[in-house]
């Protein structure tokens, strides 16, 4: 009788343990702890960004850097631009403050707002073949950057961002006005090596 009772108690213990494990697994599955959006892991110190930047970028970056706080290097791949400049600049300022370096491999294509993110790197490098595209912004109501005169307050947000990530006021203005005059909002200008050097995009 004692053996039978011990077996019964053991079976109950095992059942409770299995239920506990299953319950825990279900709860873990409901927590999106790996929601990094367009960020992905390469190694403990290197993050890859690949895709369109949107308003969720700050959340994605905070999730990623919380999981991998030792991250010191970012590799940009195919980043066609941004749908939310404010979110983009928020993350750019964080990246700059965290002293992340940014690299463009030979196949990288970055444009528009993604260029702003690239510039946040405390050290920036690129391989031959990578492309950097710029153009004027458009506000969604038919107004383009070039509709406003130089010095207008509509330009100041981008200029302030460049200053915050390490540009001098003069260099910030020079690069900003170059970008908005390089191509219309529905077009793109792929920067030459000479232009990349002139506007100090690498360092």
pLDDT tens, 71-122? 999 999 999 999 999 999 999 999 999 999 999 999 999 999 999 999 999 9
Round the CA-based radius of gyration of the chain to a whole number and report it: 24
Mean pLDDT of 61-77: 97
* pLDDT for the residue numbered 8: 53
Residue 87: predicted pLDDT = 98
DSSP 128-188: TT-EEEE---B-SSS-BGGGS-TT-GGGHHHHHHHHHTT--HHHHHHHHHHHHHHS-TTS-
Asked if 125 and 105 count as a contact pair (C-beta separation under 8 A), the reply is no
The rounded distance, in Å, linking the Cα atoms of 31 and 201 is: 39
Confidence of residue 140 (pLDDT cuts 50, 70, 90): confident
pTM metric for this prediction: 0.83
How distant is the alpha carbon of residue 43 from its chain centre? 17
Is 50 strand, coil or helix?
coil
What does DSSP say about strands 46-49 and 39-43: parallel, antiparallel, or unpaired? antiparallel
């Amino acid at each position: 009788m004692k053996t039978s009772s011990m077996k019964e108690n053991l079976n109950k213990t095992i059942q409770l343990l299995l239920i506990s494990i299953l319950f825990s697994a279900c709860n873990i599955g409901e927590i999106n702890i790996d929601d990094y959006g367009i960020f992905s892991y390469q190694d403990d110190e290197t993050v890859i960004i690949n895709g369109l930047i949107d308003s969720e970028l700050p959340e994605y970056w905070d999730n990623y850097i919380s999981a991998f706080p030792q991250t010191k290097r970012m590799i940009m791949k195919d980043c066609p631009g941004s749908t939310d400049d404010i979110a983009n600049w928020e993350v750019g300022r964080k990246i700059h403050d965290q002293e992340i370096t940014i690299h463009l491999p030979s196949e990288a294509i970055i444009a528009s707002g993604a260029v702003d993110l690239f510039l946040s790197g405390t050290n920036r490098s690129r391989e031959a073949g990578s492309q950097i595209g710029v153009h004027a912004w458009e506000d969604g109501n038919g107004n383009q950057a070039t509709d406003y005169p130089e010095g207008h307050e509509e330009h100041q947000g981008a200029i302030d961002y460049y200053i915050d990530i390490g540009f001098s006021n003069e260099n910030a203005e020079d690069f900003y006005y170059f970008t908005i005059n390089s191509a219309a909002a529905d077009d793109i200008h792929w920067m030459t090596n000479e232009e990349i050097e002139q506007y100090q995009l690498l360092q």
